[in-house]
Amino acid sequence: RAVPFDFTGADDIRQFSFLAAYRLGEEEQEERLANGDWVLSAGLYFVYRKQRLASEVATIGATPGAPLTDLIRRNARQVTPDLWVQFLWGDLRLELETALNVGSIRNVSRDTFTDDDARILSFGFAFQGEYRLLDEALGIYVDTGLASGDSQSRGISGRENTYLQQDGNSRLTHFGFHPNYRIDLILFRNILGNVGGVYYLRPGLSYDLVRTAFGQRLGARVDVIYSRANRSSQIREYGSRDANSLGLELDASVYYRSEDGPGLTDGFYAAFQYGILFPLAGLKESGLNVRNAQTLRLVLGVEY
């Protein structure tokens, strides 16, 4: 069997990154919080990417073993600054990360050079808020985030590859979170694939029936996630033209973690999760009977 061989690096993406961060040591941070002081941490991640040529003609379903010799001129450049800030004070945690994509693509065609001169300008942010009460047994959460959309494209699913740009438009403004940043169990995790072109709000509550200094936990958590598309044109293919609301999801979990010891992170972990998604107008296409989606998950793990 032939082994694939990379004949040239001309189609590779070059990337240069820079990282700067400020954070107190763990012991100093705990001491300041115990004394009633606040703690601020921050980080900046800067990435520059460029690609001169691309081999986009190699599509899924191509004949196995077929040689690929055609390269398309791409001339793409992108700058991404990413800022992270965390604020801690007593039992309060506020955390924010925001990123911006700025760049250009000389040619967006897959098989010819069209000199599109497309411009990239997209942004997104994610915020997490947590406050603990009753000796940290009760947790109150408010998470929210936004990923910019694109009024001249169709689709918001990163899994379906449906970011279809309309002819004549040279601005690319759709922003997508990394798929591993998960906020739910159904809509973004299993249907859309990632948070992209939407706004979401996720309040939640948790309560630990058992919570020891040695790390043992037994409790439950409930989250409600409301999601809404930023641009109605992106969901016009499968939703109402003027209805941006995508869905309302309810996620609940019961979890257990065994004792590990002071300062240790090893131990057994188990969780039973249930989620139900109620589709709203943005996911309801006329003529189709769109019903609620449900999921059950059992998570077992050993941390060491």
Q: Which residue has the tokens 């990337």?
A: 15
pLDDT above 70 for 256 = yes
Instruction: Look at residue 283 in the predicted model and tell me its pLDDT.
Output: 82
Q: Which has the minimum average pLDDT: 132-141, 264-273, 295-304? A: 264-273
The predicted model gives 271-286 an average pLDDT of: 88
- Look at residue 239 in the predicted model and tell me its pLDDT: 47
Please compute the mean of the pLDDT values over residues 211-233 and round it to a whole number. 88
Nearest CA-CA partner of 100 in 85, 78, 119: 78
| pLDDT at res. 63 | 58
Contacts (Cβ under 8 Å, ≥6 apart) of 123: 98, 99, 100, 101, 148, 175
What average pLDDT does this structure show over 150-179?
Answer: 72
Q: What is the pLDDT of residue 264?
A: 60
Nearest 10 degrees: Cα torsion 62, 68, 72, 74: 80
Judged against a pLDDT cut of 60, whether residue 161 lies above it is answered with no
Confidence of residue 211 (pLDDT cuts 50, 70, 90): confident
Tokens of 30: 């705990």
Calculate the average pLDDT of the chain.
Answer: 84
186-190: long-range contacts (C-beta < 8 A, 24 or more apart)? 186/249, 186/275, 186/276, 186/277, 186/293, 186/294, 186/295, 187/225, 187/227, 187/246, 187/247, 187/249, 187/277, 187/293, 188/227, 190/295
In this prediction, residue 59 carries a pLDDT of 55
pLDDT for residue 54 is more than 90: no
Report whether 156 contacts 235 (CB < 8 A): yes
Please give the Cα distance from 150 to 78 (Å, whole number).
18
For residue 202, the SS3 value is: strand
User: What's the pLDDT band for 263 if we cut at 50, 70, 90?
Assistant: low
Average pLDDT estimate for 30-37: 90
> Which among 253, 233, 254 has a CA at the least distance from the CA of 242?
233
The confidence band for 80, taking pLDDT boundaries of 50, 70 and 90, is very high
Neighbours of 280 (CB within 10 A): 19
Average pLDDT (107-119) is 73
Which tops the pLDDT comparison, 97 or 30? 97
* Cβ atoms < 10 Å from Cβ of 242: 9
What's residue 122's pLDDT? Answer: 93
Q: Given the structure tokens 């972990």, which residue do they identify?
A: 269
Q: Tell me the average pLDDT across 164-186.
A: 82
Q: Tell me the range of 1-15, 16-30, 234-248 where mean pLDDT is highest.
A: 16-30
